[in-house]
Structure 1
Amino acid sequence: MFEKYSNDNPVNKVRMTWSFAFNHPAHVIASFFGSGVIRPAPGTWGTLAGWLVFVLLSPWIPYSSWFFIVAVTFFLGAWACQKTSDDLGVPDHGSVVIDEVFAIWLLLALMPPVLAWQIAAFLAFRFFDIVKLPPADYFDTKMKNGFGIMLDDAIAALYAWLVLLAVQWVLY
């Protein structure tokens, strides 16, 4: 399950640099403006950057508009993930974090706009993104293209949402 994160994995020997992250629009999108270059745990940094952007933009964007933004980000992200993976020569490189950004935006759009729920969403999503329960594990290991990269995080967001929905149901 955690082989993907092992230092012995050849994928982890390829590093995305800041100059690479900003040398093509697809790389900027895939690395979410370079947040995926930050080490360690680029996926967590990308999720955190996505959360920050969500919080900063939410006062000006109605919650219903987030679903349109998420849909556009999914397709734009799939293209950017594919292009960046091809250019790096590595499928689903750790520095490709637009999938985390898309997923946290989707999850936050479904949560009450309260800091405690946002923190819970962040933690639940990171847990399910790392653990990769089925069918996320299938998309992560077998579908090595832009859509597969985006889909496994969509499934992680779905699992996080279901758990948080159950918690809301119990609390309220």
Structure 2
Amino acid sequence: MKAHPFLLHKWQHWLALGFGSGLAPKAPGTFGTLAALPLVWLLALISPLWAGVAIVAAALLGVYLCEVVSRDIGAEDHGAIVFDEIVGFAITLWAVPFNLQNVLLAFVLFRLLDILKPWPIRWFDRNLHGGLGVMMDDIVAGVLACLLLHSVWLPLQL
């Protein structure tokens, strides 16, 4: 088994790897998205305003984490770095009730957008680099998935 290049004694690596979820041998992005569930649940317990503030703070932290870890291991946007998926999924479920139906729909929407990378996600993925580049395509995927989710959820509330 090939050793991974991560320094798990460094808190930046531990967070960037989604507490180890990014080390899954297959589909680390999917496991990273699943690792976001406790955070998303906690964000659902507070007001949308404070949840938004927390998500912005997490996104800024993510730029730093992804920059540090990419530099430490000498590889940009390594597949095991999943903090971007965690933040993207938190964005997807922003201001939406936390229930099984919404979480499943959000999961499918976010993962499809993150994997397929349609425009404008692809543009960010190809044109930004460093920690910002690692984070931005998932942030945009999260925003688009959130808009799609709200377009389904909101009309049902009227």
- Please, what TM-score do these two structures have when normalized by structure 1? 0.81
CA distance in 1, matches of 2:134, 2:29: 12
Q: Which residue of 1 is the match for residue 21 of structure 2?
A: 35
What per-residue deviation string (whole Å, max 9, x for no partner) do you get for residues 113-150 of structure 1? 22201110111000001111122112212212111111
Q: Which residue of 2 is the match for residue 45 of structure 1?
A: 31
What amino acid is aligned across from residue 41 of structure 1 in structure 2?
A
Structure 1 outlier segments of 4+, above 3 Å? 14-17, 58-64, 169-172
CA distance in 2, matches of 1:129, 1:21: 26
Alpha-carbon distance change, 59 to 131 in structure 1, aligned in 2, over 3 angstroms? closer
Is the 1:21–1:37 Cα contact (8 Å) retained in structure 2? no
Q: Which residue of 2 is the match for residue 23 of structure 1?
A: 9
What amino acid is aligned across from residue 129 of structure 1 in structure 2?
D
| Structure 2 unmatched runs, 5+ | none
Q: Which residue of 2 is the match for residue 54 of structure 1?
A: 40
Deviation at 1:21, TM superposition (A): 4.8
> How many residue pairs align between the two structures?
156
Alpha-carbon distance change, 72 to 91 in structure 1, aligned in 2, over 3 angstroms? same
Deviation at 1:168, TM superposition (A): 2.7
2:63 pairs, out of 71, 78, 84, with: 78
RMSD (Å), alpha carbons: 2.1
Is the 2:93–2:146 Cα contact (8 Å) retained in structure 1? no
| Structure 1 unmatched runs, 5+ | 1-13
2:149 equivalent to 1:164: yes
Report percent identity of matched pairs.
34
SS of equivalent to 1:116: helix
Alpha-carbon distance change, 74 to 59 in structure 1, aligned in 2, over 3 angstroms? closer
Is the 1:66–1:106 Cα contact (8 Å) retained in structure 2? no
